[in-house]
Structure 1
Amino acid sequence: MALVKSRLKIFLVDDDPFCRNMYLQHLENLGYKDITCFENGADCLAHLFLKPDVIFLDHSMGTLPGLTVLKKIKLFDPDIHVVFLSGSANIITAVKALKSGAIEYIVKGINEFENMTKVLSRIAEIKAS
């Protein structure tokens, strides 16, 4: 699993610098090294050529909503694992995200670090098999 962890390329997309830095620190503490941060969906989309394995994607971001970005990511490469992050426990948004291809929907402020760790373990298992 450590080998997979060191090889995972992660994008972190959140317009809130506090959240972005907090999640970055958590991922680094877990031992992930190849992490690229973006403050908006457009910048993330412009860098998909870097072929990330995992994208943590905020729901509410400026002019390009997370759901729109998610759909464009999946059009570019359906094998990218997208984890949706939201400050809202809105079931309708969660269902839309999962139906659009997100592997997980994590609500900010409700065990998000534990949930991020769990989903990364799941993705590492998928990548290792």
Structure 2
Amino acid sequence: MSQGTPVVFVVDDDISVRESLELLIGSAGWRPETFASAEQFLNCPPALVPNCLILDINLPNLSGLDLQRHLSVGRPDMPIIFVTGYADVPMSVKAMKAGAVEFLTKPFGDEELLAAVQSALEWSKTALAAGSELHELRGRHASLSRREQEVMALVVSGLLNKQVGFELGISEITVKAHRGQAMRKMRARSLADLVNMAARLSGAH
């Protein structure tokens, strides 16, 4: 399988479940990675390709919900499909509220699981792409000089060039020069584009 093959992680303490899911996932063209406990899974490095987690809610020691809490901090972009042998509605609601993408009760059909995995991987692919774009945007912003960053911040807040100059104690012509440089380095096609970029950068902190 290629390096870009999506990874489907499975955490389930039942070896027969792990083995059957490993075969099913592999037959669908994805790369399965199985673990018998939440602790084992936490020791594995994050995947850099689209991925998701099939997680048994009833695990010894660290439960599925405990692991979900851990991942919400360390790997918030990982979609989780919960599976359980018990039709526990309150637990299901809790898992979904905490961000699980699906909750399946054993025994579930192969097609039902594969559809859930396909949907989760599409979600992961989108999240990875957005993360990559944000990383690039941060790099562009870091390439601005301190003065260009100051001018950009004031311009996107709605101030006119003259007002920006007054705030920073520089001439309007100097403001225009810095503004032009900031637009070029950020690769903004318009002021609206620059405002949108600034909003994405501030929303990501």
Q: Aligning the two structures, in what range does the TM-score lie when normalised by the shorter sequence?
A: 0.7 to 0.9
The structure where strand makes up a greater share of residues is: 1
* Alignment RMSD (CA, Å): 2.0
The residue number in structure 2 matching 1:116 is 113
2:39 and 2:48 map into 1 onto residues whose CA distance is 15
2:48 and 2:70 map into 1 onto residues whose CA distance is 14
> Secondary structure at 1:35's aligned position in 2?
strand
> Secondary structure at 2:46's aligned position in 1?
helix
Does residue 37 of the first structure (1) align with residue 28 of the second (2)? no
Count of residue pairs the alignment pairs up = 123
- Percent identity for Structure 1 against Structure 2: 24
Distance 1:110 1:49, change over 3 A: closer
The structure with the larger Rg is 2
Q: Post-superposition shift, 1:83?
A: 0.7
Q: Is the 8 A contact 1:71 1:101 kept in 2?
A: no
1:30-49 CA-to-partner distances (Å, cap 9, x unmatched) read 121x2211000011111143
For normalisation by structure 1, the TM-score amounts to 0.85
Distance 1:51 1:100, change over 3 A: farther
Worse overlay, 50-59 or 76-85: 50-59
Structure 2: gaps of 5 or more residues: 130-205
The residue number in structure 1 matching 2:171 is none
Question: Relative CO higher for 1 or 2, CA cutoff 8 Å, sep ≥ 6?
Answer: 1
The residue number in structure 2 matching 1:87 is 85
The residue number in structure 2 matching 1:125 is 122
Distance 1:84 1:31, change over 3 A: same
Structure 1: gaps of 5 or more residues: none
1:31-82 CA-to-partner distances (Å, cap 9, x unmatched) read 21x2211000011111143457201111111111110011111211111011
Q: Is the 8 A contact 1:81 1:123 kept in 2?
A: yes
Instruction: Kindly provide the amino acid, as one letter, of the partner of residue 49 in structure 1.
Output: P
1:63 and 1:124 map into 2 onto residues whose CA distance is 28
- 4+ residue stretches of structure 1 with deviation over 4 A? none
- Give the counterpart of 2:60 among 59, 62, 80: 62
